[in-house]
Amino acid sequence: MLVGVCDFPGSYAFPPARYGGIERWLWAVAAGARAAGADVHLLGPGWLTDLENDWVRKPVRLEDITPGSLAERDVRDTKYDLLIVGHEYPSLPAWTRTWNALNCDVATFQHSPVFQHTPTTFDGRRSRLYCYSPEMIERYADHRPIPELAVHLGLDEEEPPATAGRDLVWLGRIDEDKAPHIAARAAQILGRRIQIVGPVFDETYVRRHERLLTANHVKWVGELGGPAKTAAIAEASVFVYTYARPYVEAGAAVFGESLRAGTPMAALTWRTGTCAEAALCEQTGAITVADPDEDDETAAQRLALAIAQAETLDHRQVQEIGQHRFDPARHFLAMASRSC
């Protein structure tokens, strides 16, 4: 099978060295395809040039190809079996025009809870849309979504053997949507230290919760990538997951990152059917479902109980389950199959 993995214009490299969302997913699919025995081409100029030493890299984007051009003929004659692309592109006329000339399948993962596709974008066979959680499946029901847990990888983020860690960790972008202040308060309730890892996206949010986020038990680590990021997760006793009441998590990279490292998760959610429910089980984490009408303090109290529960889990078992559940090759094979 010949697979083309397409980049897109953005501020992060492919694969990203630190923060990133869809970029990390595309790299995971490329790595998974290769691990599963497929031939892989990295399509688009965004892929790091030093990958050319080990990968076939073609710096062309389908949406930029002129109909009838030599570039179109070249990509058509390559005879791809499957294209993997960000969720916006199967609805982009310029991209779809070139794809239609290739006579191959296309698969994508819905990483946004609000992006709208054209009505005929996906047929569930030749063009396939994958979604993480029951609530995302429901949102995109008109597009024949297929349930699948997304896998994300960054550069040099191989996980070491699982060990029982010490402090708590929270990782993600620091803003209102992700609500790390609730994680900080839950740690405070337990008398535990917590590391906050990630880039600040919202200074106003940080100032609003400054007293809690800068308390003595909170350690700000900043944005990490590569081995340092993996170590921050692997060396934690529990990964604490939070988000704001109205926010809908679509791609949820952190579940795979934490479980593959052998770190159990304590997740705060505000409803059922979320990514946490799809990703976790009793052997890998604890979920608390809070009432959206409850205040943050009550939610933090609930989350503290979930942390205590998650801390009793076996890190080695968590890693064994996580590396199977979030295996890149398994993920690719699921997306490459028309029998979904």
Number of structural domains in the chain: 2
- What's the half-sphere exposure (Cβ side, CA atoms, 13 Å) at 47? 24
Q: Choose between 68 and 25: higher pLDDT.
A: 25
Report yes or no on 162 lying in a domain.
no
Report yes or no on 29 lying in a domain.
yes
Kindly state whether residues 146 and 31 are assigned to the same domain.
Answer: yes
Kindly state whether residues 118 and 187 are assigned to the same domain.
Answer: no
Kindly state whether residues 21 and 148 are assigned to the same domain.
Answer: yes
Kindly state whether residues 117 and 259 are assigned to the same domain.
Answer: no
Beta-bridge mates of residue 44 = none
Task: Judge if pTM exceeds 0.85.
Answer: yes
Q: Residue 196 sits in a domain of what CATH number?
A: 3.40.50.2000
List pLDDT tens digits, range 183-193. 999 999 999 99
Report yes or no on 159 lying in a domain.
no
Kindly state whether residues 111 and 175 are assigned to the same domain.
Answer: no
Q: HEC string of the chain? A: CEEEEECCCCCCCECCCCCCCHHHHHHHHHHHHHHCCCEEEEECCCECHHHHHCCEEECCCHHHCCCCCHHHHHHHHCCCCEEECCCCHHHCHHHHHHHHHHCCEEEEECCCCCCCCCCCCCCCCCEEEEECCHHHHHHCHHHCCEECCCCCCCCCCCCCCCCCCCCEEEECCECCCCCHHHHHHHHHHHCCCEEEECCECCHHHHHHCHHHHCCCCEEEEECCCHHHHHHHHHCCCEEEECCCCCCCCCCCHHHHHHHHCCCCEEEEECCCCCHHHHHCCCCCEEEEECCCCCCHHHHHHHHHHHHHHHCCCCHHHHHHHHHHHCCHHHHHHHHHCCCC
List pLDDT tens digits, range 290-322. 999 999 999 999 999 999 999 999 999 999 999
* pLDDT of amino acid 256: 97
Closest CA to 247 of 122, 144, 152, 133: 133
Kindly state whether residues 315 and 331 are assigned to the same domain.
Answer: no
* pLDDT of amino acid 137: 98
Kindly state whether residues 34 and 94 are assigned to the same domain.
Answer: yes
Domain with 11, as residue range(s), is 2-154+327-336
Q: How confident is the model at residue 340 (pLDDT cuts 50, 70, 90)?
A: very low
- Mean pLDDT lowest for which of 11-20, 108-117, 127-136? 11-20
Report yes or no on 271 lying in a domain.
yes
